[in-house]
Amino acid sequence: MIKIANAQFWVHDQDEALRFYTKRLGWEVRADVTMEAWNFRWLAVGPVGQDDVGLVLMPVPGPPMLDTESSAALAGLVAKGAGGTLFLETDDCQASYDELSARGVVFNDPPTAQPYGIDTSFRDPSGNNIRLTQVLDFDPARGTAP
């Protein structure tokens, strides 16, 4: 069987990202290893209670892996929100929203009813999008009451 072990986001600043994912989101550190010779830090976090899937907070690389121009372009794309989305699920969207808000997460929008459930979204400091969904039985009319 093949399964997903880690997904990855590009981040502008690993220290800032680490603070966000641990202090604000409440996740745990899975790995934090610095390879001095490579000037590289392998940093991975993940949600408490889900041990087998993690998120790698990868620094936007510079030369020699990426030339200066491409590196700046990549950092810019992430800042513009083009870095991608992480889709999270929760049992209770409102409770998660309240809990994370209390820890300082600034949401894009409040929990909103959708045909597939209730969801909301926020971004990490670099601009990566994170969607938080409470999945419910599909109802095309949910969330469209006038």
The reply on whether position 12 binds another protein by CB under 8 A is yes
User: Do residues 79 and 89 lie in contact, with contact meaning Cβ atoms separated by under 8 Å?
Assistant: no
Q: How far is the CB of 51 from another protein (least distance, A)?
A: 25
- What is the x/- site pattern for another protein, positions 59-98, by CB under 8 A? ----------------xx--xxx---x-x-----------
Is residue 102 classed exposed, middle or buried when 0-12, 13-18 and 19+ CB atoms within 10 A define those classes? exposed
Q: Kindly write down the DSSP assignment for every residue of 36-71, as one continuous string.
A: GGGTEEEEEEE-TT-TT-EEEEEEPP-TTTS-HHHH
The reply on whether position 111 binds another protein by CB under 8 A is no
The reply on whether position 138 binds another protein by CB under 8 A is yes
Of 46, 58, 100, 133, which one interacts with another protein (CB under 8 A)? 133
Nearest to 18 by CA among 126, 134, 110: 126
Among 42-50, 63-71, 91-99, 106-114, the segment contacting another protein (CB under 8 A): 106-114
